[in-house]
């Protein structure tokens, strides 16, 4: 994952999930461990609006594209 994509995703997650819950920490760990499949699985447990979900899924899509190019 490119550093810019990592920073974007983590910043967005921290803004949306203000409380440092175990679920958010697991999601951050999935990002840190370069595991988009786990991040997607964990996101299913969050109550995001449709717009939020589309946005974060787009960020993960970019992450996955970056992994293929690397």
Q: Is the pLDDT of residue 48 over 60?
A: yes
Global pTM reads 0.74
- What's the confidence (pLDDT) of residue 7? 74
Distance CA 60, CA 40 (A): 8
Residue-range domain boundaries for the chain: 3-69
pLDDT, tens only, 26-45? 988 998 898 999 999 998 88
Q: Counting every residue, how long is the chain?
A: 70
Distance CA 43, CA 40 (A): 5
Instruction: Find the helix packing angle between 22-32 and 3-16, rounded to 10°.
Output: 170
**pLDDT category, 1, cuts 50, 70, 90?**
very low
What is the number of H-type helices and E-type strands within the chain? 4, 0
């Amino acid at each position: 994952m490119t550093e810019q994509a990592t920073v974007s995703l983590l910043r967005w997650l921290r803004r949306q999930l203000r409380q440092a819950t175990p679920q958010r920490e697991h999601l951050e760990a999935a990002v840190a461990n370069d595991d988009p499949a786990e991040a997607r699985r964990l996101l299913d447990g969050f109550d995001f609006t449709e717009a939020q979900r589309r946005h974060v899924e787009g960020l993960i899509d970019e992450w996955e594209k970056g992994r293929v190019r690397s």
